[in-house]
Amino acid sequence: MWDKVLTGFGYWDVYSWLAFFLIAGGMIFFLRSFGRKDYKQGTDQDEIFFGSNPVPEDGEDLKVPASSAYWGYTQALKPFYEGLVGLHTGIATDYAGWYILVTALVALLILV
Amino acid sequence: MNWQEHLPALLLAVPLFGAFIAPLTVLGGKGLRNAWFLFVSLVFTVVAFLLWARVGAAGPIIYVMGGQGWNFALPSGMSIPVRILMEVDAFSAFMVLLSAVAAFAGALFSINYMERFSGVEKFVSLYFLMIAGMFGMEITGDFFNFFVFLEISSVASFGLVAFWRDRGEALEAAFKYMLVSTLGAMMVLVAVAFLYSRYNVVNMAALGKVIEWGMVEKTALVLFLTALAMKCGAVPMHMWMPDAYAEAPAGVTCALIAVSQASLYGLFRVCFTIYGTFMGSPIIPWVIIVLGVLSMFIGVSMAVIQKEVGRLIAYHSVSQVGYMLLGFGVGLLALGDARAMADYGFTALKGGVFHIVNYTMYKGLLFLAAGALYYATGSRNLNDMGGLGRQLPKTMVLFMIAAAAIAGLPPFNGFVSKLLIYESSFAVHPILAVFAMVTSVLTLASFVKIFQTAFLGPELKKFKAVREVPGSMLAGMTVLAVAILVLSLFPTWSLNHLVEPAAKALVDQASYIGAVFATAATGGGL
């Protein structure tokens, strides 16, 4: 029950990982304990730095929307994504068409 | 007489009875309906657990309906089984157990989740019908009944996907799902007809005993393969899946995960138990491997760019099914070659089987967490969300557990099954492992995206009034989170008691066939 999982090529030991996270967590709390405790809450000292601009009251004006996530990745792979999204037409007959096409291809491979 | 001998029948009877009684619970009000929903779900989960334990202790169970006795597989001196026969081996029992857990969690979650809507007794009825069909697919011993149960679960799930019929998108998703699913089911029926016309039997064990590798058998295999691969969402036949999964109520999607796994079960039962070593060509294993790689990579690539939380997670379902297809494809490739099976084939199968249970648990939890976000905010669009970790701390923690597990972050269970698949597929060709690992990286990227945009960030004024979701929804999610933690913290136990017996049963064609024909001697059939 507590053994390692042997994969035939290597192994997986969850308890080593747990020990690692415990040690890492302990180190994080240790380093955190060096932080200054004399800052004044509610003053400029705990204000968010927002490029020297006043911080908007509503978080809506601050947040990064999901559609902006991985912008660089999607821009770099734009041709790939244009093709991929283009295949997902949302048309029901296309769905059936893909199924028939795959069936025909597999049949061709196995029967001929 | 030991009542536990009738567990296979009970497994079907309980949800069916639950479905037929559910509309009557409207007479007793919401309380009675919810109590019935919970009670029946709990009973079939207990039955599933007992069945799994019994098969683990006593080996495959045969159960015959409509015969002289429940244990007479070959009545009246017949040489082939002709009745409605259930055969539960370790692989079936494993599938039944995890399906039951997912269905129970989905039911528990739905009690509060569906309380804002009318007609919930019809929802409960359809839910139980879908579960009965799913269990039937997993324990039936003959192909015609497999088709019947496939249709029962499909038709019920069409209704459930379209349950919010005021939403045009839900109706459209249900229609598309119905179109491709019915086409696939017809092909399954045609495949069964091909085999019946050739061998005069539809019983799986009897077919496995006599099947040869001819034109009819090849045609039937192609039809089975593509229809069942489509039902479990393999690329490029996956497009119905994001539509249906995103539009169905969250509790239903959690159970739909298990239903799609029942199709995957059917595919592997056909490939390993019926055709098995008689499959005289490596083309089919390679087709499964290619479908797996395509599903992994295309699924996750599409997931990364989604803005709607349900669709993002649904594309990940396509990707995760790819891992399983890859694992089982590699296992099928090694079937018949004892050395290859010992070197990497059985490891791949264990990875595939382990990934089935992992996927069902964490994907179910992710869909429930997506449902909780929708319940709390009224939005499915990630662009509208932000800072919800303050209002939904428990949902956030449960989501984090599932997201870390699916991304394969140590020490969670997702990594164990992926490791087995990486290493065994590497032995076939390194490029397979490369695709699997790139998929894993993109999986982590897309769940970081949900976590960051929905739960982190500044507090939004419009969500100040949002409160943590109700108890039954948290309880449904907790059931799956506990399962994930158990699988993560006790991987050796999980492999030894859950995964290995199922993987061994899958490759042990002789035992599956022998269990039916042995009852001729012990059950008095002849």
3-state secondary structure string across B191-257: HHHHHHHHHCCCEHHHHHHHCCCCHHHHHHHHHHHHHHHHHCCCCCCCCHHHHHHHHCCHHHHHHHH
> B392-433 pLDDT, tens per residue?
999 999 999 999 999 988 889 888 899 999 999 999 999 999
Interface residue A27 vs chain B (CB under 8 A)? no
The ipTM assigned to this model is 0.91
Q: For residue B270, give the DSSP letter.
A: I
Taking contacts as CB-CB distances below 8 angstroms, the residues of chain B near A12 are: 415-416, 419, 491
Interface residue A74 vs chain B (CB under 8 A)? yes
Return phi, psi of residue B468, to 5°: -55, 145
Residues A7, A13: Cα–Cα separation, whole Å: 11
User: What pLDDT is attached to residue B526?
Assistant: 31
Cα atoms found within 13 Å of the Cα of residue B408, Cβ hemisphere only: 23
- pLDDT beyond 60 at A18: yes
Q: What is the mean pLDDT of residues A54-74?
A: 84
Return the amino acid letter for B417: S
Q: What is the mean pLDDT of residues B109-127?
A: 93
CB contact at 8 A, B50 and B57: no
- pLDDT beyond 50 at B523: no
> B135-159 pLDDT, tens per residue?
999 999 999 999 999 999 999 999 9
Interface residue A107 vs chain B (CB under 8 A)? yes
Look at B489 and A14 and tell me if their CB atoms are within 8 Å.
yes
Percentage of chain B exceeding pLDDT 90: 79
DSSP per position, B407-435: TT-TTSHHHHHHHHHHHHHHHH-HHHHHH
Grade residue B519 by pLDDT with cuts at 50, 70 and 90.
low
Q: Where are the domains of chain A?
A: 5-111
**Residue A64 C-alpha, separation from nearest chain B C-alpha, in angstroms:** 7
Q: Which residue of A has its CA nearest to B382?
A: A66
From the list A3, A92, A110, the residue facing B179 with the nearest CB is A92
From the list A5, A62, A94, the residue facing B495 with the nearest CB is A5
**Judging by beta carbons within 10 Å of its beta carbon (0-12, 13-18, 19+), is residue B229 exposed, middle or buried?**
buried
Look at B382 and A21 and tell me if their CB atoms are within 8 Å.
no
User: What pLDDT is attached to residue B76?
Assistant: 65
Q: Where are the domains of chain B?
A: 1-277+512-526, 282-489
Q: What is the mean pLDDT of residues A94-102?
A: 95
**Residue A111 C-alpha, separation from nearest chain B C-alpha, in angstroms:** 7
Task: Provide the 3-class DSSP secondary structure of residue B486.
Answer: helix
Most A-contacting residue of B460, B492, B494, B496 (CB-CB within 10 A), to test interface: B492
Residues B24, B19: Cα–Cα separation, whole Å: 10
pTM score: 0.93
User: What pLDDT is attached to residue B78?
Assistant: 67
**What is the Rg, in whole angstroms, of the alpha carbon atoms belonging to chain B?**
22
